[in-house]
Amino acid sequence: MDIEQIFENNKKWIAKQLQTNENYFDELGKGQSPEFLYIGCSDSRVSAEELMGLQPGDVFVHRNIANMVPNTDLNSMSVINYAVMHLKVNHIVVCGHYGCGGVHAAMQQSDLGILNPWLRNIRDVYRIHRKELDALTDEEEKYKRLIELNVQEQCMNVIKTAEVQKANRERNLKVYGWIFDIHSGELIDLKIDFDATLKNIMSIYKITD
């Protein structure tokens, strides 16, 4: 693609937005108050707003390789802090996707340099759920299940933060685990029982009164 095309696209987009609402950019410029925080994969095929049918201003977005929320990652921790404490979102979504290259790479025996410590977090998810995953003989099935379990574990990492625990108590903030099925376009709710998960892990991870 010609990079100049991007600027042409931008001009067309501005015209289109103004055609539907002449105050569009005045309103956009006033500030944001999104209701959702979306944490997803950087994969170019999984564009957050588009797959949810949402518009600019609707969702605060954080994307990285394999939709991770590592406990020591300053980036994702800052995003969660800002979204919960300042934007006051009440819904946090961790969205994985089938066909995730990051999860696939973590299932291989290869040295990927700087990616190693990042992908090690996914290997840890495998270790936690080793019994279930090793029992799956079909490689594709195992791959899909690890993608789902990774979402589940990242939801737990979100719940482990003090901000989320506090906001859950004060205003009933909830965390959801979703999968985007890249082969059908379907968004699947993993139906993680948030209350049960919270209760289960709080005896270890409770850090607020």
In the annotation, is 155 catalytic?
Answer: no
Task: Using the minimum distance from each CB to Zn ion, give the nearer residue, 84 or 153.
Answer: 153
In the complex, least distance from residue 19 CB atom to Zn ion, rounded to whole angstroms:
35
Which residues, at least 6 apart from 26, have a Cβ–Cβ distance to it below 8 Å?
Answer: none
Residues between 31 and 70 that touch Zn ion (CB under 5 A): 41, 43
In the complex, least distance from residue 35 CB atom to Zn ion, rounded to whole angstroms:
25
In the annotation, is 45 catalytic?
Answer: yes
Q: For residue 173, state whether it binds Zn ion (rule: CB under 5 A).
A: no
Of 84, 92, 95, 100, which lies in the binding site for Zn ion, with binding defined by CB under 5 A?
Answer: 100
Interface with Zn ion (CB under 5 A): 41, 43, 100, 102
Q: Which residues are catalytic?
A: 41, 43, 45, 97, 100
